[in-house]
Amino acid sequence: MKDFNYHSAKDSKEASKLASSSSAFLAGGMTTIPSMKLGLATYKDLIDIKNIKKLSGIKVSGKSVTIGAATKHVEVSNSKDVKKAIPSLSSLAEGIGDPQVRNRGTIGGSIANNDPSADYPSACIALNATIHTNERKIEAVKFFKGMFETALKKGELIEAIEFQIPEKSSYQKHPNPASRYAIVGVYVAKHKGDVNVAVTGAKSCVYNDKEMSKALSGNFSSSSIDGMDLDSSEMNTDMHASAEFRASLVVTQAKKAVDAC
């Protein structure tokens, strides 16, 4: 690992002021530190945001759950409020990586990183989340741009993620047996008007499967998507799963999610 400067920011303003083209925010460090150790990334400055009070904590209102960006996975999975308002979000957090990762990794870091097989992005899409940054509010569907790519500008800091509380929801992950990231993860959420079927792991970026959403909005039953033959041409193929297998898993996990709702 190359030498770098460590800064601990006391508020969002200081954090974004310190940011440059060769800096990174340090939240849980679960992605940043290993990539630096392996020489895949080098930064001149690391700006620690864990000490910014405003970025941590969970608030539940009638319609939404708002989670501070620096809130750790373990805090989300243990939160009674989250369990009550959106149980599937709490169980998603419980299924991330391993205890060590959950004790450090943060929700803000996860979505800023936008790993194509990360879990939280699917929650953001399914639960019509709004990403609050120090500059603006961004709708989830406009936030996730592509593989490891988001709408964030240089130095823009996520402060909180606001999830809409659905009528029913469930997240079903088929984990990579080694890393336990999602080979395919499907987050189904039934809102008043319609149903979202957010899929992670299958393609280069999280997406809402329109076909299944439509079918389930008409009839919220797993039978309405059973046997659906998804187009696998844009799906990932790697040593753990072919595109064809992923396409099948998307339907299977979606059915499981509907049944679990």
Ligand X SMILES: Cc1cc2nc3c(=O)[nH]c(=O)nc-3n(C[C@H](O)[C@H](O)[C@H](O)COP(=O)(O)OP(=O)(O)OC[C@H]3O[C@@H](n4cnc5c(N)ncnc54)[C@H](O)[C@@H]3O)c2cc1C
Q: Give the C-alpha separation, 5 to 60, whole Å.
A: 37
Which x/- pattern, by CB under 6 A, does the window 131-160 give for ligand X? ---------------------x----xx--
* The one among 16, 32, 64, 213 contacting ligand X by CB under 6 A: 32
Smaller CB distance to other proteins: residue 156 or 209?
209
By the 8 A CB rule, do 95 and 73 touch? no
Instruction: Give 49 or 215: the residue with its C-beta nearer to ligand X.
Output: 49
Q: How many residues bind other proteins (CB under 8 A)?
A: 19
Measured distance CA(44)–CA(24) in Å, rounded: 9
Give the SS3 label for residue 7. strand
Residue 83: count of CB within 10 angstroms of its CB: 16
Q: Encoding tokens for residue 142?
A: 């406009």
127 vs 191: CA distance, rounded Å: 8
Q: Which residue is nearest to ligand X (CB)?
A: 109
- Asked if 65 and 46 touch (Cβ cutoff 8 Å), the reply is no
Q: Which residue in the set 22, 61, 179, 223 belongs to the binding site for other proteins (CB under 8 A)?
A: 179
Residue 253 sits at φ, ψ, to 5 deg, of: -70, -35
Q: Does 148 bind other proteins (CB under 8 A)?
A: no
Binding partner of residue 68 among ligand X, other proteins, none, CB cut-off 5 to 8 Å per kind? none
Nearer to other proteins, 35 or 134 (CB): 35
Using the rule CB under 8 A, give the single segment among 16-24, 102-110, 195-203, 244-252 that binds other proteins.
244-252
Contacts of 72 (CB under 8 A, 6+ apart): 28, 102, 103, 104, 105, 106
Contact between 26 and ligand X (CB under 6 A)?
A: yes
| Binding piece for ligand X, criterion CB under 6 A, among 29-37, 190-198, 202-210, 251-259 | 29-37
> Residue 225 interacts with other proteins (CB under 8 A)?
no
